[in-house]
């Protein structure tokens, strides 16, 4: 049954984003699936529709605040409702230490992973405040909590996501807004698949990644999506300003 609420999911074209679009639709949200990859966004919408949910796609680079605002306006006209939930899933990474990270790669990772969230959250907060309620879930990473080898720009960006999320919670809680960061460990996503494919020894690299989790396996996009759906729901009404860790115990030791 539809909740009558709209969820905006960035990075919905693949991995955690697509799984989140499906999970939120299953909770009754109408989903605006945003991705720079238009084919991926369309595929997320097809998956939602096949499961009986409502969704629309928008090909949008989250670094472009005007394009994101236009996508929000289109969704509001389509469903006659402001966004009740923003799930910021879009992100990129570069495998490099600090001295091996080029200035261009640094700027690109920070632009997608952090500055874009400034723009997307800034766009949804006014209508949420007007409505007197709203939820923001930003996908950070355990890499924002601990150092991870050869992920300098990524670690910095995800630590920034956690700080930004907590500042939103502090500033807007009294206006009915909740904001939480979710911090996955290693997830079997397309990005991890590319890292493995580019590795000189994919099997050994996979084994090292799996061993970082206490149960010896990577997480799945669906598992992280279930965490996002939980944080979006009424069962998480007392969760605000958190760094919600889902890492298979990676940071427990």
List the catalytic residues: 154
What gap in Å lies between CA 203 and CA 69, rounded to an integer? 43
CB 6 within 8 A of CB 82: yes
Residue 39, burial from CB neighbour count under 10 angstroms (0-12, 13-18, 19+): exposed
Which residues are CB-neighbours of 128 under 8 A, at least 6 positions away? 82, 83, 84, 134, 172, 175, 176, 177
CA dihedral for 35, 100, 198, 213, sign (positive or negative) = negative
Q: What is the SS3 assignment for 217?
A: coil
Residue with tokens 């945003």: 34
Extract the runs of DSSP E, i.e. beta strands, from 130-195. Answer: 134-139, 177-184
- Among 22, 17, 9, smallest CA distance to 51 is for 22
Rg (CA), the chain: 17
Provide the β-strand partners of residue 139: 182
CB 134 within 8 A of CB 124: yes
CB 189 within 8 A of CB 16: yes
């Amino acid at each position: 049954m539809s909740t009558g609420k709209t969820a905006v999911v960035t990075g919905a074209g693949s991995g955690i984003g697509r799984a989140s679009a499906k999970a939120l639709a299953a909770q009754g949200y109408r989903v605006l699936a945003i991705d720079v990859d238009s084919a991926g966004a369309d595929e997320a919408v097809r998956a939602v529709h096949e499961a009986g949910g409502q969704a629309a796609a928008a090909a949008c680079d989250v670094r472009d605040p005007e394009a994101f605002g236009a996508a929000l306006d289109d969704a509001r006209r389509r469903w006659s409702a402001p966004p009740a939930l923003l799930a910021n899933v879009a992100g990129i990474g570069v495998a490099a230490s600090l001295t091996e990270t080029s200035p261009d790669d640094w700027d690109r990772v920070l632009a997608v992973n952090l500055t874009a969230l400034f723009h997307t959250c800034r766009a949804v907060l006014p209508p949420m405040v007007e409505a007197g309620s709203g939820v923001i879930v930003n996908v950070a990473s355990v890499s924002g909590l601990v150092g991870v080898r050869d992920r300098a720009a990524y670690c910095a960006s995800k630590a920034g996501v956690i700080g930004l999320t907590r500042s939103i919670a502090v500033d807007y809680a009294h206006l009915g807004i909740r904001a939480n960061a979710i911090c996955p460990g290693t997830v079997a996503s397309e990005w991890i698949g590319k890292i493995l494919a580019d590795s000189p020894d994919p099997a050994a690299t996979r084994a090292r990644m799996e061993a970082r989790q206490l149960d010896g396996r990577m997480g799945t996009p669906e598992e992280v999506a279930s965490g996002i759906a939980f944080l979006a729901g009424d069962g998480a009404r007392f969760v605000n300003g958190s760094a919600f860790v889902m890492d298979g115990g990676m940071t427990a030791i």
